[in-house]
Amino acid sequence: MRTGSAPTLAVVTDRPEPVRIRPRSFHRRDAATVAGCAAASLALTWLAYSQILPFRGLPGFLLLWASFNFLIYYVAVRETQGRVVARDRTMASIISVVAIAIVIPLILILGYVTLKGLRFLRLAFFSTTMASVGPESPSTQTGGLQAIVGTVEQVGIAMVISVPLGILTAVYLNEVKGRIVRPTRIFVDAMSGVPSIVAGLFIYTVLVANGAGFSGFAAALALSILMLPTVTRTCEVVLRLVPDGLREASLAMGAPEWRTTWGVILPTARTGILTAMILGVARVVGETAPLIMTAFGSATLNTNPFSGPQAALSLSSFQLFGSSQTADVERAWVFAFVLLTLVLILFVVARLQGERRRS
């Protein structure tokens, strides 16, 4: 018997469909307004620039165009939709244009390097060295193996040195909270301001010129000086994000502080610490100045980081740019492109890690 059951919700059909309001919607007409204003201001700018004003040059033209555009857009929207909407839309468009203007140089750099580097990049780049490249060789014949091995070894050793040190320092700053927290923090901050050339000079004076000679290890030491503050500061921020409740919960069970840090705090911050490592690597992988005085550079493959000059992607790129040969300059772009791709991959991995942490 279903007739006697609870009343069902009947669909009311005799009422008209309510009119929906979407205060923030953007219609075809609005898009047309934007396009129309852009065209009108372009024409006005052209008129002012070529006929009236005594200026020349692209930056001024773009600036004037943007200014005219905002003015015309404001007036046009005000006429059709009122003052409040006009102000909102104009501010939104100003912010959008500024945001785009900031991204443009980045895209230009990426695009230019890709364009120049990709033209001469061949698969052999990853398996041959520069030793087989003669003065008459075409630009497509470029060997990068020695530089890739060098970069991987130098950055790898720098990581092995500075990641544990950075994590320990962050633990000191955030967990141990000893007497010299303030000096340590100031010192780490100051260290992040050390110019990379100074780090290179330091290792050169202390190690290389003292008889140790050029080596990948010397380069790794210079790089770890630069990497340490980045890793430390990032780790510190990550550790600070671990809720105090977890520390207290662990200590309240009778755990010593070192076990609390090792067993609770660090595992909780695991992905963040991984991000810190990747950011540290990305910070130094493109460094060139300190390598000039430590790794020195090489055309041949040297897999031993502890003796003899070693190449690196950034260093090879720099040295090839200085050549008088056109082919060498073109090769420099290939190295630059590979390096840029490497940094990009590292940052994407770091960002993905960070997002997984949040979810």
What residues line the site for another protein (CB under 8 A)?
Answer: 177, 243, 245-246, 248-256, 259-260, 263-264, 267-268, 270
Nearest approach, Cβ of residue 179 and another protein (Å): 12
* Residues in CB range of 317: below 8 A, 6 or more apart: 288, 332, 333, 335, 336, 339
Nearest approach, Cβ of residue 183 and another protein (Å): 18
Minimum CB distance to another protein smaller for 18 or for 254: 254
> Partners of 310 in the beta sheet?
296
Minimum CB distance to another protein smaller for 23 or for 245: 245
Q: Which of 293, 345, 328, 316 is nearest to 150 (CA)?
A: 316
Nearest approach, Cβ of residue 90 and another protein (Å): 45
* Residue 262 token pair: 């090792």
* Residue 304 token pair: 């031993």
Is 354 within 8 Å of 275 (Cβ atoms)? Answer: yes
Nearest approach, Cβ of residue 272 and another protein (Å): 11
Residue 311 CA to residue 75 CA, distance in Å, equals: 60
Minimum CB distance to another protein smaller for 215 or for 250: 250
Minimum CB distance to another protein smaller for 147 or for 235: 235
Work out whether the CA dihedral 194, 334, 327, 105 comes out positive or negative. Answer: negative
Please classify residue 109 by burial: count the beta carbons closer than 10 Å to its beta carbon, then call 0-12 exposed, 13-18 middle and 19+ buried.
exposed
Minimum CB distance to another protein smaller for 259 or for 351: 259
Nearest approach, Cβ of residue 184 and another protein (Å): 17
Tell me the C-alpha to C-alpha distance, in Å, between residue 180 and each of 169, 186, 187, 240, 357: 11, 10, 10, 18, 31
Nearest approach, Cβ of residue 250 and another protein (Å): 6
Minimum CB distance to another protein smaller for 215 or for 261: 261
